[in-house]
Amino acid sequence: VVDSVAALVPKAELDGEMGASSMGLQARLMSQALRKLTGSVARTNTCLIFLNQLREKIGVMFGNPETTTGGLALKFYSTVRMEVRRIGALKDGDQVIGSRTKIRVLKNKLAAPFETAEVDLLYGEGIACELDLLDTAVQHNVVEKSGSWYSYAGNRLGQGRDGAKQFLKAHPEVYLKIDGELRKRIELPPRSFQMQDLRRGEGGNHAPGNGRAKQAP
């Protein structure tokens, strides 16, 4: 993981004086680096992730003034490009505990591009998978929502998203039942870890437990 492209410093800029012009150096660095890295990444079956930042173009009167740093090479070489934006705050009372985030796929060589998704990112935890599962299950009629109550197979999961989330976190077997039924309905393959991994807290960010997911034999 390269975090981030905007923080990469070319040697000429590092050795130069503060305030000296360095136009195009970072773009040239990225272009050269990607030409070298492409072969190594393919041979070693490595997933290389670049994080980047947004900047605004100067003097743009029409269209989107936003652009990313590092030139155009990264856009051309990338297999998947995603835009991540914070669209709201998640609160527990008056305390902000996370953010509602919208993800848009700008480029995808592996599947159809321009898909969007919204996820909850909790500080110190990552993606709230229970809430993600809950929202998707309601959307596909696997979980029923009546007022503020959530129910599955006639049994109540909890009141409100947070109440249902806490129930799913405390009962990973229910989480996996809902997950399995949802995956069948939307024609996705089953998960690759076992129930005992969740009970040991090894489900990773893919399920309750926040440990590391293990592959099924």
Query: What Cα–Cα distance (Å) separates residue 107 from each residue in 30, 62, 115, 121, 162?
Result: 19, 23, 10, 23, 34
Tell me the fold of 128-217: Rec A Protein; domain 2 (3.30.250)
Predicted pLDDT of residue 22 = 76
Output the pTM of the full model.
0.76
pLDDT for residue 94 is more than 90: yes
Span 125-149, mean pLDDT? 94
Tokens (6 digits) for 150? 């959530």
Token pair recorded at residue 12: 């000429």
d(CA 151, CA 149): 7
Give the C-alpha separation, 100 to 150, whole Å: 20
Average pLDDT, integer, range 73-82: 96
Residue where the block lists tokens 């807290």: 201
Q: What is the pLDDT of residue 197?
A: 54
- Could you count the other beta carbons within 10 Å of the beta carbon of residue 13? 16
pLDDT at position 166 over 70? yes
- Give buried/exposed letters for 159-198 (b at 16+ CB in 10 A, else e): eebeebbebbbeebebbbebbebbeeeeeeeebebbeebb
> In this model, does residue 89 exceed pLDDT 60?
yes
pLDDT digits (tens, 9 = 90+) for 149-159: 999 999 999 99
Give 42-76 pLDDT, tens digit per residue: 999 999 999 999 999 988 889 999 999 999 999 99
Average pLDDT of the chain, as a whole number: 88
Residues of the chain with CATH 3.30.250.10: 128-217
Asked whether the predicted pLDDT for residue 145 surpasses 90, the reply is yes
Burial group, residue 104, by CB count within 10 angstroms (0-12, 13-18, 19+): middle
Mean pLDDT over residues 11-22, rounded? 83
Concatenate the DSSP letters of all residues of 44-113 into one string.
TT----EE--EEE-TT--SS--EEESS-SHHHHH-SEEEEEEEEEEEEETTEEEEEEEEEEEEEESSS-S
Rounding to the nearest 10 degrees, give the CA dihedral for residues 67, 71, 75, 76: 150
Q: In this predicted structure, what is the pLDDT of residue 217?
A: 36
pLDDT surpasses 60 at 39: yes
Q: pLDDT per residue over 189-211, tens digit each?
A: 887 755 445 544 544 444 554 44
